Amino acid sequence: VDGDLDVLAVFDKPDPLDGPYFEETIYVTPSRLDDIALNAVISTTDVACRALGLREGPVHAEVRFTAEGPGAPRVVLLEVAARSIGGLCSRVLRFGAGISLEELILRHSLGLDTADLLRADGAGGVMMLPIPRSGVLTSVEGTEEASAVDGVVGLEITAPIGRTILALPEGGTYLGFLFARGDTPEQVEATLREAHEALTFTIVDEAEPEPGAGSSEDVPPGTSSTEVMIDRTERRGAGKVVTAS
């Protein structure tokens, strides 16, 4: 606003995001960083925005930081862009009397007063449901159980049933989005993980077309003679995945 960075929310990413590539899974706000670390993150972002000449409108920034002894941590800027948060993640945020982030941005662009539209109390979070393996998504089970977990406020499966989905590094989408609210960030994170555990995704290998046949999209998804239940909780509290070969 007029060249000054007005921070609406800072999200923590509690899962270890190790390379060479990784899926982002959980965002939780407010941040659990202490004041020193949080101020260092905001200050670094502010300097970057000024250097790029960003003066009005939404800003999305991502940083990593390392604690190297006492004092402020070393903050590394990964991204800063003149855009809002991506996907459906903005649904976590509410301002004033239930105003969405998108409406807040539009109000600002129209010159309307937004100073009194403070972010709603409490904590919120979103899990971007990761794709565990490539194949054809044939079913999703446990949506009612996941939605019934205390604190869950929304669940959207965005991957279409019967279509091929690609895991990283070839893919770049998610199975869907899971939303939760609570009193504390710790509570929200636990809610998201519990709800994810209730979901079961069935993914089968894509059928190979017979010689002279059309593309694999013209062939019904392959069937399975064996099914293996994989519990991926060791990696990041992920839901169960039924695979078929």
Domain locations in the chain?
Answer: 31-121, 124-244
- How many other CB atoms are found less than 10 A from the CB of residue 147? 14
Q: What is the pLDDT of residues 2-27, one digit of tens each?
A: 899 999 999 999 998 888 888 899 99
Q: Sheet with 176-182: list strands edge to edge.
A: 26-29, 123-129, 176-182, 152-157
Is 240's pLDDT higher than 60?
A: no
Is 225's pLDDT higher than 90?
A: no
Residue 76 and residue 82 in contact, taking contact as beta carbons nearer than 8 Å: no
Question: Tokens in use for 167?
Answer: 């895991």
Q: What is the pLDDT of residues 45-72, one digit of tens each?
A: 999 999 999 999 999 999 998 876 667 7
Residue 101 parent element (H or E): helix 101-109
Q: What is the pLDDT of residues 70-80, one digit of tens each?
A: 677 889 999 99
Residues 6+ apart with CB under 8 A from 164: 134, 135, 136, 206, 216, 217
Task: Write down the pLDDT at residue 206.
Answer: 86
